[in-house]
Amino acid sequence: MTQAIDFTVPILRDRPTAEEPLRGLPALARVALMGAERIRAEACRPRVYAWHEIVERGIGQVVGLVGPPGHGKTELAMMLLAARMHVGEPLSVLGREVTPAPIGQYGLAIEAEHGEGSASRRYLRAVEMVGASEGALGRIIIIARKNVLLGDEVWQDVAKLIAAGLVSDVLIDSLARVARADANDEQAQAAIFDELHRVIESSPAPEKPIVWLVAHTRKKEGEIDITDMSGSAQRVAQLDVGIVVTAKRDSSGKVTSSTASFKRLREGDPDRWPDAIEFAIRREGDRYVCEHSAPQSTPDDLPLEDRIVEILRTHGRVTKNRIRVLTRRNKADIETAITSLFAARRIRSAEVEVKGTTYPAFELRHSTPYETPYVATPDV
Amino acid sequence: MDELAITFLTAERFRARPQVGLVIHQDWHSLARGLAWPHVASRKDAYGAWCPAALEGGRVKGGRGPVSLLVADVDDCHEGALDREAEALRNYAGVIVPTFSATRARPKNRIVLLPSRALAPDEFSIAWGKLARTLAVAGITVDRGCKNINRLYYACVTRSPDAWLGARVLTGEPIDVDAMLAAARAEMAEQEEERRTRERERPIASTGRYIAAAIARARESVATAPEGGRHEALVREAYSLARLGLSASDIESALLETFVARAGEARRREGVRAIRDSVAARGTAA
């Protein structure tokens, strides 16, 4: 039977109810994660890293490299960008794997502290130090101007490039140069990060760009911490990852080595918190090398998902039983890790033949991030 | 309501100019029978017309008066519409009458509903709007022309007994007018709130929070500049805002009143000139 009309009830727009709290709230419904099932599914999704266990990939993290001037922040940032732009197997920076950005995307470096010549020389050196391919240089767009400001015409073009899905990494050197808001004004600082997040979110690429921010610390004596980043507390609060870089100098004032201390990690696991890493850049013959104190991460240090990926990368198609033997983990752990890897579309089903018998197995999908180009459709 | 007051126009009065009707008083049941009882004629105006309001002096043109019935014509409909409407409106008192051009395939009709009391002219527009919106939600689209308080409706006429589709009599209760008006006002209040929210958000949304923060800082700088430094502060801030792509008129809207409030009305022209010069200087520098 048709529902009877009632003229005494107001026709209000859809309103949230106890049963359906997101009813009539389309903007919130688009972004809200709700329901035990969805929350569990998200929690099970493996974390994927751009810089192993330090910087996550694809979620638009803002990484602060913080320290006094001339202590090695820029050098480290450039090495990370060079490794991200490398075309091929992942490289290592300070002993930790850096996953190359998807082919078809670029790294934008706003080098407001350097001229074009100086910036070009330093990027060339960074590419050399991390062992990146020649292709890495072809993927870096350097904007070496002292007058690029967040919000100005150049920045608006940068935003268009990001909105076209063509940028995987943005390096801003330095924050003080590019965003000249009042450092002590909380609102002005919040507005800077609003603009950065707006631009990050505008990217239609499956992986949101990583922003590497080089920022100075206030002048002070003694040990430097992330909270010494110049500017209001807003700057520190908005960082997903905070790395403090400080240098040791010899009696003449020359930097002999720098130390990267990991002061802030989003979801940092206390048991796996990275130790501070000392690194030094030296010239060997006609090339530069970066030496560091960090042990190379061994397979056993890696999360199980990453270990399985390494095994598949090395052995090709592998059965579940063989994975158990190689990882020395129990069946339940292997099942969970394999489920996660399928969810992340990192592996797929395959078959292997052993002594004439076919067994179910797994292999890497060809669409690992650095193997398949992301094809953007520019609309600028 | 014991007796309902409506305006009736005989065929002669309907054709005459100016149209002047007779205000008549009838109880609901008699009136409903009259409205739903078909006359057979080849012209739809053969038996005159009626208006649900008791028009002052019976004058139709510009006429107003208390309204005894809520009426809506349904032209956009399909076969079976009469029964569907009658079912949806079963809780109310009223009649649903096929109009002169109704066919089985397209049973155009008139819904006449009895309110619990006569509506004042000002209340009528609110109540009729509510009636139309609620019917629309139920999938019944009504002719918006019926919102006029002095709208005339032809008397019930059919071309032939065979063409008559039969009126539907609704035997429920009169519409609670006060509850209906309260519901309508709640809807209007929500629409007004949404309109205000949209207006409040518009300027910020168009410039972005970063630029909004830059404007706020620039205003603050101009407002706090000491005497002797106001012109310089205005020039500096205008130049700075121009770098973010704001036009001279945008910057004038943002800073001029702040400057005039501090420096005095006599310096308004100086402020306008300073802003334009700064924007032009920025254009040259870019």
Report the CATH number that the domain containing residue A309 is assigned in CATH.
1.10.10.10
Q: Which two tokens stand for residue B176?
A: 């609670």
Q: In the sheet where A55-56 sits, what is the strand order?
A: A55-56, A49-51, A96-98, A91-93
Cα A57 to Cα A346: distance, rounded to the nearest angstrom: 14
H-type alpha helices, B1-120: 11-15, 28-36, 81-88
> Cis peptide before A206, with omega less than 30 degrees from 0?
no
Contact A7 B180 (CB under 8 A): yes
A332 and A264 assigned to the same domain = no
A146 and A211 assigned to the same domain = yes
pLDDT value of residue A152: 80
A304 and A243 assigned to the same domain = no
CA nearest neighbour of B50 among B85, B77, B24, B74: B24
Cα radius of gyration (chain B): 31
| pLDDT for B84 beyond 60 | yes
A308 and A222 assigned to the same domain = no
Cα A137 to Cα A127: distance, rounded to the nearest angstrom: 7
Closest by Cβ to B134, choosing from A7, A194, A198: A7
Indicate the pTM of the whole model: 0.51
Cα A93 to Cα A316: distance, rounded to the nearest angstrom: 26
Quote the DSSP letter at residue A58. Answer: B
Domain, as residue range, for A213:
49-292
User: End of a domain among A251, A274, A292?
Assistant: A292
pLDDT value of residue B121: 95
User: End of a domain among A273, A292, A311?
Assistant: A292
A241 and A280 assigned to the same domain = yes
| pLDDT for B96 beyond 90 | yes
Residue ranges with strand state E in A164-293:
167-173, 210-216, 241-249, 255-265, 277-284, 287-292
A357 C-beta neighbours (distance < 10 Å), count: 7
A75 and A192 assigned to the same domain = yes
Is there a domain that residue A37 lies in? Answer: no
Segment (H or E) for A83: helix A73-85
A122 and A223 assigned to the same domain = yes
CA nearest neighbour of B128 among B137, B139, B138, B115: B115
Phi and psi at residue B108, in whole multiples of 5°?
-55, 140
pLDDT digits over B120-167, tens only? 999 999 999 999 999 988 889 999 989 999 999 999 999 999 999 999
A66 and A177 assigned to the same domain = yes
pLDDT lower than 70: segments of chain A: 45-46, 146, 180-188, 219-222, 229-236, 268-272, 295-301, 314, 366-380
A284 and A310 assigned to the same domain = no
Min mean pLDDT across A263-272, B7-16, B46-55 is at: A263-272
Phi and psi at residue A89, in whole multiples of 5°?
-65, 150
Phi and psi at residue A24, in whole multiples of 5°?
75, 10
In this prediction, residues B230-248 reach a mean pLDDT of 87
Q: In the sheet where B70-74 sits, what is the strand order?
A: B70-74, B109-113, B93-98, B168-171
Contact residues of A toward B, CB < 8 A: 1-13, 149-153, 156, 181-182, 185, 187-188, 190-192, 194-195, 198
Strands B70-74 and B39-40: unpaired
ipTM metric: 0.72
Cα A101 to Cα A107: distance, rounded to the nearest angstrom: 9
Strand partners, A65: A214, A243
Q: How far is CA A79 from the centre of its chain?
A: 14
Cα A6 to Cα B141: distance, rounded to the nearest angstrom: 16
In this prediction, residues B101-114 reach a mean pLDDT of 96
Strands A167-173 and A347-354: unpaired
| pLDDT for B99 beyond 90 | yes
Distances in Å between the Cα of A201 and the Cα atoms of A56, A113, A209, B42, B153 are: 16, 26, 8, 69, 58
pLDDT value of residue A59: 87
**Mutate: best of B69, B91, B180, B210, partner A, most A CBs <10 A:** B210
Chain A residues close to B90, C-beta within 8 Å: 4
Contact A6 B217 (CB under 8 A): no
Contact A4 B89 (CB under 8 A): yes
Contact A11 B135 (CB under 8 A): no
Contact B183 A10 (CB under 8 A): yes
Instruction: Give the type of residue at B177.
Output: V
Chain A residues close to B286, C-beta within 8 Å: 153
A239: left (phi over 0), alpha (psi -120 to 50) or beta: beta
A243 and A309 assigned to the same domain = no
A288 and A146 assigned to the same domain = yes
Percent of chain B with pLDDT over 90: 64
Give the Cα-Cα-Cα angle A242, A247, A251 (nearest 5 degrees). 165
Size of the A and B interface in Cβ pairs below 8 Å: 89
- As a 3-state breakdown, chain A gives helix, strand, coil percent values, each rounded to 5, of 35, 25, 40
A309 and A193 assigned to the same domain = no
Contact B286 A6 (CB under 8 A): no
Cα B149 to Cα B128: distance, rounded to the nearest angstrom: 9
pLDDT value of residue A295: 67
Counting every residue written for chain A, the total comes to: 380
In this prediction, residues B78-93 reach a mean pLDDT of 95
The structural domains of chain B, with segments of one domain joined by +, span 4-193, 208-285
CATH of the domain at A186: 3.40.50.300
Is there a domain that residue A350 lies in? Answer: yes
Our count of domains for chain A comes to: 2
The answer to whether A254 touches A283, Cβ cutoff 8 Å, is: no
Closest by Cβ to A7, choosing from B87, B183, B213: B183
Distances in Å between the Cα of B16 and the Cα atoms of B22, B39, B152, B168 are: 13, 21, 14, 32
B181 reaches A (C-beta below 8 A): no
H-type alpha helices, chain B: 11-15, 28-36, 81-88, 121-137, 177-207, 209-224, 230-242, 248-251, 257-263, 268-285
Phi and psi at residue A203, in whole multiples of 5°?
-70, 125
Give the Cα-Cα-Cα angle A340, A345, A349 (nearest 5 degrees). 85
Is there a domain that residue A79 lies in? Answer: yes
Closest by Cβ to B84, choosing from A2, A7, A12: A2
pLDDT value of residue A167: 94
By the 10 Å C-beta count (0-12 exposed, 13-18 middle, 19+ buried), A172 is classed as buried
